[in-house]
Amino acid sequence: MASTQVYRTCRTVPRVLYFVHNTNSKNFFTYANFFLKRSVLISSKYPFYFTPLSQHNNPRYMYRIGLELPFVNILTLKREFSKSNFVLWKKDDDTEIDDDYLKTIDSSEDNVFEKWSRELLPVADKHSVFVIQPHVKWGTKKKWNTTPELQLEEAVALVQSLHGWQVADKMIIGLKSFKKKSFFGSGNFEMLKKNVRRNERITAVFISTKTLSSSQHRELQRAFGVPVFDRYTIIIHLFRQHATSREAKLQVAMAEIPYIWSQLNERDEGTIDKRGGTGGVQGVGGGGETVVEIQKQSLALRETKIKQALEKLRKHRTLLRAKRQKMEYPVVAVVGYTNAGKTSLIKALTGDKNMQPENKLFATLDVTNHMGMLPCRMKVLYVDTVGFISDIPTNLLESFTATLEDALLADVILHVMDVSHPDRMAQAENVKSTLQNLQIASDTLKNIIVVGNKIDLVPNDIPFENDEGIPVSAAKELGLTVLKRRIQEAILEATDRKFLIIRVPMGGTEASWLYKEATVTDTEADPDNNQFLLMHVVITNAKFSKFQYHFVINNSETEQKKL
Ligand SMILES: Nc1nc2c(ncn2[C@@H]2O[C@H](COP(=O)(O)OP(=O)(O)OP(=O)(O)O)[C@@H](O)[C@H]2O)c(=O)[nH]1
Ligand SMILES: [Mg+2]
φ, ψ for residue 89, nearest 5 deg? -140, 145
Torsion over CA: 427, 431, 434, 436 (sign):
negative
Ligand 1 contact, 339 CB (< 6 A)? yes
Task: For the beta carbon of residue 123, count every other beta carbon within 10 angstroms.
Answer: 15
> In the prediction, which pLDDT does 93 show?
31
Q: Which ligand 1 atom is at minimum distance from the Cα of 364?
A: 23
Q: Are 235 and 215 in contact (CB under 8 A)?
A: no
CA distances from 525 to 58, 108, 519, 548 (A): 72, 61, 18, 21
Does the pLDDT value for residue 372 go beyond 60? Answer: yes
> In the prediction, which pLDDT does 201 show?
93
Q: Percentage of residues in the chain with pLDDT exceeding 90?
A: 28
Does the pLDDT value for residue 278 go beyond 60? Answer: no
Same domain? 84 vs 213: no
Last residue of a domain, one of 47, 75, 94: 94
Same domain? 82 vs 140: no
- CATH assignment at residue 153: 3.40.50.11060
Last residue of a domain, one of 229, 259, 291: 229
Q: Per the domain annotation, does 430 fall within a domain?
A: yes
* Ramachandran assignment for 229, one of left (phi > 0), alpha (psi -120 to 50 degrees), beta (any other): beta
Torsion angle, CA of 174/176/178/179, rounded to 10 degrees? -150
Tell me the pLDDT tens digit for each residue of 161-173: 998 999 999 999 9
Q: Per the domain annotation, does 287 fall within a domain?
A: no
Same domain? 464 vs 450: yes
What's the CA-to-centroid distance between 209 and ligand 1, angstroms? 25
Same domain? 177 vs 222: yes
Ligand 1 contact, 134 CB (< 6 A)? no
Ligand 1 contact, 357 CB (< 6 A)? yes
- CA dist 16 and 285 (Å) reads 7
Closest CA to 308 of 68, 56, 94, 58: 94
- Return the H-helix or E-strand segment holding 229: strand 228-229
Instruction: Give the lowest-confidence range in 312-326, 333-347, 474-488, 490-504.
Output: 312-326
- CATH assignment at residue 521: 3.30.70.240
Last residue of a domain, one of 77, 94, 111: 94
> In the prediction, which pLDDT does 451 show?
96
> In the prediction, which pLDDT does 427 show?
92
State mean pLDDT over 351-373: 83
Q: Per the domain annotation, does 323 fall within a domain?
A: no
Atom 8 in ligand 1: residue holding the nearest Cα? 341
> In the prediction, which pLDDT does 147 show?
87
Same domain? 341 vs 480: yes
Residue type, 251: Q
- CA dist 274 and 88 (Å) reads 34
Q: Per the domain annotation, does 311 fall within a domain?
A: no
> In the prediction, which pLDDT does 198 show?
92
Mutate to test the pocket of ligand 1, among 358, 366, 458 (most ligand atoms within 8 A of CB): 358
Same domain? 446 vs 543: no
Ligand 1 contact, 474 CB (< 6 A)? yes
Tell me the pLDDT tens digit for each residue of 447-456: 899 999 999 9
- CA dist 181 and 226 (Å) reads 18
> In the prediction, which pLDDT does 6 show?
30
> In the prediction, which pLDDT does 311 show?
76
What's the CA-to-centroid distance between 304 and ligand 2, angstroms? 30
Q: Which ligand 1 atom is at minimum distance from the Cα of 340?
A: 19
Closest CA to 243 of 386, 416, 408, 405: 386
Instruction: Give the lowest-confidence range in 40-44, 56-60, 120-124.
Output: 40-44
Average pLDDT value for the chain: 72
What's the CA-to-centroid distance between 365 and ligand 2, angstroms? 7
Three-state SS at 176: coil
> In the prediction, which pLDDT does 246 show?
72
pTM: 0.71
Same domain? 353 vs 468: yes
Ligand 1 contact, 359 CB (< 6 A)? yes
Structural domain containing residue 149: 125-229
Same domain? 45 vs 135: no
Q: Which ligand 1 atom is at minimum distance from the Cα of 362?
A: 24
> Which comes out higher in pLDDT, residue 316 or 194?
194
What's the CA-to-centroid distance between 400 and ligand 1, angstroms? 21
What's the CA-to-centroid distance between 356 and ligand 2, angstroms? 8
Closest CA to 331 of 441, 444, 450, 483: 444
Same domain? 477 vs 503: no
State mean pLDDT over 443-463: 85
Residue type, 264: L
Ligand 1 contact, 400 CB (< 6 A)? no
State mean pLDDT over 35-55: 36
Q: Percentage of residues in the chain with pLDDT exceeding 70?
A: 63
Closest CA to 225 of 247, 192, 249: 192
What do you get for the CA distance between the two ends of the chain, in Å?
Answer: 85
Q: Per the domain annotation, does 180 fall within a domain?
A: yes
Domain count, the chain: 4
> In the prediction, which pLDDT does 266 show?
67
> In the prediction, which pLDDT does 488 show?
94
Does the pLDDT value for residue 338 go beyond 80? Answer: yes
Does the pLDDT value for residue 28 go beyond 50? Answer: no
> In the prediction, which pLDDT does 47 show?
36
- CATH assignment at residue 363: 3.40.50.300
pLDDT band at 323 (very low <50, low <70, confident <90, very high): low
Question: Residue 474 CA: which ligand is closest?
Answer: 1
Does the pLDDT value for residue 282 go beyond 60? Answer: no
Q: Are strands 532-540 and 470-471 parallel, antiparallel or unpaired?
A: unpaired
Does the pLDDT value for residue 293 go beyond 90? Answer: no
H-type helices in 461-518, by residue range? 480-494, 509-517
Tell me the pLDDT tens digit for each residue of 395-438: 677 666 656 766 677 889 999 999 999 889 999 998 888 888 77
Mutate to test the pocket of ligand 1, among 154, 162, 339 (most ligand atoms within 8 A of CB): 339
pLDDT band at 476 (very low <50, low <70, confident <90, very high): very high
Same domain? 377 vs 488: yes
Q: Per the domain annotation, does 315 fall within a domain?
A: no
Tell me the pLDDT tens digit for each residue of 79-132: 444 443 333 433 333 222 333 433 444 333 335 455 555 666 666 778 999 999
What's the CA-to-centroid distance between 375 and ligand 1, angstroms? 24
State mean pLDDT over 176-203: 87
What's the CA-to-centroid distance between 358 and ligand 1, angstroms? 6
Atom 7 in ligand 1: residue holding the nearest Cα? 341
Q: Which ligand 1 atom is at minimum distance from the Cα of 454?
A: 31
535 Cβ contact partners less than 8 Å away, ≥ 6 residues apart? 501, 502, 503, 504, 511, 514, 520, 522, 523
Ligand 1 contact, 421 CB (< 6 A)? no
Atom 30 in ligand 1: residue holding the nearest Cα? 454
> In the prediction, which pLDDT does 432 show?
87
Instruction: Give the lowest-confidence range in 26-40, 83-97, 179-193, 324-338.
Output: 83-97
Q: Per the domain annotation, does 116 fall within a domain?
A: no
What's the CA-to-centroid distance between 356 and ligand 1, angstroms? 9
> In the prediction, which pLDDT does 56 show?
40
Q: Is the ipTM of this complex over 0.95?
A: yes
> In the prediction, which pLDDT does 239 show?
84
H-type helices in 278-341, by residue range? 291-327
Q: Per the domain annotation, does 225 fall within a domain?
A: yes
Same domain? 374 vs 469: yes
Atom 32 in ligand 1: residue holding the nearest Cα? 454
Ligand 1 contact, 473 CB (< 6 A)? yes
Q: Are 90 and 43 in contact (CB under 8 A)?
A: no
Ligand 1 contact, 341 CB (< 6 A)? yes
Instruction: Give the lowest-confidence range in 32-36, 272-276, 467-471, 542-546.
Output: 272-276
Tell me the pLDDT tens digit for each residue of 123-174: 677 899 999 999 876 555 555 567 889 999 999 999 999 989 999 999 999 8
Mutate to test the pocket of ligand 1, among 344, 382, 420, 455 (most ligand atoms within 8 A of CB): 344
Same domain? 469 vs 518: no
Does the pLDDT value for residue 206 go beyond 80? Answer: yes
